[in-house]
Chains A and B, each alone.
Chain A
């Protein structure tokens, strides 16, 4: 059974009298112990998606629609085995389903605070600045532990904090240091250690390697991998860097303009890419690109998402666009069927799917997408 099941989630930001459709009808699910990646250029709604799961959106942002079913519930709704109580499940007043999942989208401000860190720990995009400069690093971990486990003594929490630091390769004595005494990589690892403080079910890591040099990047990714094995935590990793995904993900979703363009098991999405946007994105990264000699980035930039046009979000930059693409955004098609030349919508969130009207013409797209001229033609069209 999945740990997190997100249905038709839409997030908007209110700007003056308009809405920015930052995330638009997204479906995905994460299993226990799995690493799920969201990749896409900057401005595609990845951070918004991650923050919305625990209601940490900017004050003008809100969940416009959708459900976030999480396999777990609030402390006050649990029985001694940590499962939702019968009376809670049966009472319609609580957003708890028969299978024990709770809809996080329906929780209020007070309730979601109990889910944060205890169940879902979100490490923000600039984790290096996320340590409070005026408190000792160890104390900040102790604070997190005692917030969610008020019966833990300070000494006990402190021992755990030091142990956590040691696990991410930081000398436990450094718990008494302040953030400014740490290097960039150490701060990042300290925040990761802090995220594990309450043994969460899901760790959301937003751009965990951005702004770090390559050696430290590798170190952080290894760290995440090890923690995952040790704690059996699910990781939702967000990055604009497709090579990061290649290293650590099990499942991958490629996001563009607030929509998932392609998703599925990592190897399939990488090796049998079935969406023009994925193909273009791969072209622009050195480590994933194989046959081709030159790096080509997709001309243009992501749309603003302020009251978007009805067509495919990628239509302005897509070299394969046809008339149909202007009508509405494509649904998710099953890629296995598409390989056989059939265009059939796919319901299975875990299988390889692609949102593109031309999936039934995969061969052409794959061949053409590897040519530089294909992408340059777009610049000329605009």
Chain B
């Protein structure tokens, strides 16, 4: 596995880093263009002008703009996200608590969507035009066209309200005499994560399938698939090893777009299911005008996208040997 060169990887990392610098700059600009300053929410009508002035100083708002910018950029790169004006705790502490929860939900949904999507797309593309293909394809399109929150409510109504199988709020439940063993913790979390997870994955696997199916369809026409058949390989081997393996290449490209959708969806889903992650935090922070928290949350999501993008890039180069490594 020496196909990917250090030079190529280094280049991709530099590009990712520059992307993040640009995003930070945009966030900085965005914050300055908000109505009021980010301390507006802390100012009460009874405050004296001197008090306000002191607050401005503490928060660094009296520095010249360029200095504020430099400070901001330096601070952000060292994980110094400032204080939350509403919670009066460092933003970093909030992030560090919330991020893993989002990663669990997001990561699980990503894995489910990118396993189910390619698998279903592979079968439908292989059976192209058959009745099975048509009916499964049509029903997944119907699901795809539903808004994520609507689907989430449908699941809540069915599995929580009607059947009572699964929880629809929070990440876990704190019973008075709950024993936190490994197994009990996992079942506890599973009870809570399943609904938001399938709601999130459901909307997204179809997007993956929509790329895989036609890709698979094209690939089955390829001469190398014919040759694989001529070699006497079983239908399974031809379908998976020769056809699907090639059909996956465009899916890796789609993943970059799919990621953005997934993050988008996770903000809504966290809200609907009261999942205490970054997505929920963003909504709360915006409502309470807690700009430092909102800013840091956006930044964390941006880092997530950039890192995943880097990963898909690496995966892509492994999937397609025709890409020249170290020259990209």
Which residues 157-211 of A have a CB within 8 angstroms of B? 178, 180, 191, 194
B150-177 toward A: CB 8 Å interface, digit per residue (1/0)? 0000000000000000000000000000
Among B223, B246, B319, B320, max chain A CB count under 10 A is at B223
Q: How far is the CB of A211 from chain B (nearest CB, A)?
A: 12
Q: How far is the CB of A144 from chain B (nearest CB, A)?
A: 5
Q: How far is the CB of B27 from chain A (nearest CB, A)?
A: 40
Taken together as a complex, chains A and B put the C-alpha atoms of A122 and B232 apart, in Å, by 10
**Which residue of chain B has the shortest Cβ distance to A113 in the bound complex?**
B232
The answer to whether B224 and A132 touch across the interface, beta carbons within 8 angstroms, is yes
Which residues 211-260 of B have a CB within 8 angstroms of A? 222-224, 226-234, 242, 245-246
Q: How many residues of B contact A (CB 8 A)?
A: 19
Among B223, B227, B246, max chain A CB count under 10 A is at B227
A133-B231 contact in complex given A124-B226, A126-B223, C-beta closer than 8 Å: no
Total A-B Cβ pairs within 8 A: 66
Residues of chain A within 8 A (CB-CB) of B233 are 113, 143, 147
**Which residue of chain A has the shortest Cβ distance to B324 in the bound complex?**
A180
The answer to whether A130 and B232 touch across the interface, beta carbons within 8 angstroms, is no
Residues of chain A within 8 A (CB-CB) of B322 are 133, 178, 180
- B64 CB–A CB distance under 8 Å: no
The answer to whether B231 and A147 touch across the interface, beta carbons within 8 angstroms, is yes
- B321 CB–A CB distance under 8 Å: yes
Residues of chain A within 8 A (CB-CB) of B242 are 132
Q: How far is the CB of A200 from chain B (nearest CB, A)?
A: 11
A132-B230 contact in complex given A178-B321, A180-B321, A180-B322, C-beta closer than 8 Å: no
Residues of chain B within 8 A (CB-CB) of A113 are 232-234
A110-140 toward B: CB 8 Å interface, digit per residue (1/0)? 0001111110011110110111111000000
Which residues 84-106 of B have a CB within 8 angstroms of A? none
**Which residue of chain B has the shortest Cβ distance to A55 in the bound complex?**
B229
**Which residue of chain B has the shortest Cβ distance to A131 in the bound complex?**
B224
- A54 CB–B CB distance under 8 Å: yes
Q: Which bucket holds chain A's interface residue count? A: 20 to 34
The answer to whether A56 and B223 touch across the interface, beta carbons within 8 angstroms, is no
Taken together as a complex, chains A and B put the C-alpha atoms of A177 and B58 apart, in Å, by 63
Q: How far is the CB of A262 from chain B (nearest CB, A)?
A: 29
User: Contact check: which of A114, A117, A131, A180 meets B230 at CB < 8 Å?
Assistant: A117
The answer to whether B230 and A121 touch across the interface, beta carbons within 8 angstroms, is yes
Q: How far is the CB of B113 from chain A (nearest CB, A)?
A: 23
Residues of chain B within 8 A (CB-CB) of A115 are 232
Please list 18 pairs of residues, one from A and one from B, whose beta carbons are closer than 8 Å in the complex, sorted by A's number: A54-B230, A113-B232, A113-B234, A114-B232, A115-B232, A116-B231, A124-B226, A124-B227, A124-B230, A130-B226, A131-B227, A132-B245, A133-B224, A133-B321, A133-B322, A144-B232, A148-B232, A180-B322
Closest 8 CB pairs of A and B: A116-B232, A130-B227, A129-B223, A132-B224, A113-B232, A130-B223, A178-B321, A117-B232
Q: Which residues of A does B touch, CB under 8 Å? A: 54, 56, 113-118, 121-124, 126-127, 129-134, 143-144, 147-148, 178, 180, 191, 194
